[in-house]
Amino acid sequence: MFARIALFMLMAIGLAGFGAVAWINLHPAAPPAQTSGTPNDRVPVLTAARSLRAGTLLKPEDLATEQRPPNDVPAGARIDAGSARGDLLGAMIRRNLSKGDALLMADALNPGDRGFLAAVLGPGMRAVTVGVDQVTGLAGLVWPGDRVDLILTQSQDGSNVTPAHRVSAETVLHDGRVLAIDRQLMQGATSESPEAGMARTVTLEVTPAEAVRVAVAVRLGHLSLSVVAVPQAPGRGSETDPAPPQAGNAVTWGGDVSSALSGGSTSEGTTVRLFQGPTDSKELHF
């Protein structure tokens, strides 16, 4: 009797074991949960491509994109989507950023925002605006934050002006920082653009004395920009920079550029100045 009961119990235990194995095979364990998001789940966050100091005007090479999991995106971070990058070009950074730091909405002050010029100007400096076109503005290759020279070209009329002195050029502003530039010019106007060739504006940071010089230069003649190389202009007033030009110095005349003008006409002959005493002199033409 007891032998039969023990046999039935062993058979029941065996059947239960086989059933459990079959159930496990038909229902595999769920895969372990992913600890990080897949590439499709990551968010393209705009970050600083290099260390940036507060007051820096952003250029294209200052921006980078970093794919981050959603839980690693700080509140207010700027996402690299649509025109986000273009909207930041020329903006002023309000705080120091290290390489890889996410750019927050409150980190940048854009040109046109209230208080932009007052915030970006150095102590005691002024802002002046000059008109440029697609050529004088270097075909849209000038960016806020670049340093430029402002060159004045003018023509001299009159019968007493020699051909060699009818056209002159001089630098009226040396190593001026570009604060803001027309957006269309900044992106590069093309001949297909309906607004190509129209005058644009560039806003420069200058000293009070330079502001007066620029105001006069605007009325005298044609203005154009010349970009200063970064290694040659680490900062205004540095020992490596050439001294800023003074009024009336470093004038380049047409005769200095063209040998045809400097040679003059053979019909003009030769001029000799004859001195007769300490105060009396006359010119003799041959």
Query: Which domains are present in the chain?
Result: 38-117 (3.90.1210.10), 121-257 (no CATH)
| Partner residues linked to 203 by β-bridges | 129, 180
CA distance 92 to 138: 22
117 Cβ contact list (under 8 Å, min separation 6): 127, 179, 180, 203
pLDDT in tens, the chain (286 residues): 666 676 667 676 766 666 665 666 665 555 555 544 455 688 999 999 999 988 888 888 899 999 999 888 898 899 988 788 888 888 888 889 999 999 998 888 887 777 777 788 888 999 898 887 766 555 557 778 888 999 999 988 877 878 888 888 999 999 998 887 765 444 444 334 444 444 478 889 999 999 999 999 999 998 888 888 865 444 444 444 455 544 446 788 887 888 777 665 444 556 666 666 666 666 665 5
Distances (CA, A) of 154 to 2, 127, 219, 252: 125, 24, 10, 11
Residue 274 phi, psi (nearest 5): -105, 125
Q: Which two tokens stand for residue 268?
A: 């003009």
- Coil, helix or strand at residue 39: helix
Q: What are the tens digits of pLDDT across the range 189-241? A: 433 444 444 447 888 999 999 999 999 999 999 888 888 886 544 444 444 44
**145 HSE (CA, 13 A, CB side):** 22
The amino acid present at 285, given as its one-letter code, is H
The amino acid present at 197, given as its one-letter code, is G
156 Cβ contact list (under 8 Å, min separation 6): 165, 166, 167, 168
Q: Which two tokens stand for residue 112?
A: 């046109």
CA distance 100 to 71: 17
Whether the CA torsion 17, 23, 26, 30 is positive or negative: it is negative
CA distance 152 to 269: 32
CA distance 144 to 130: 14
The amino acid present at 5, given as its one-letter code, is I
* CB contact at 8 A, 173 and 236: no
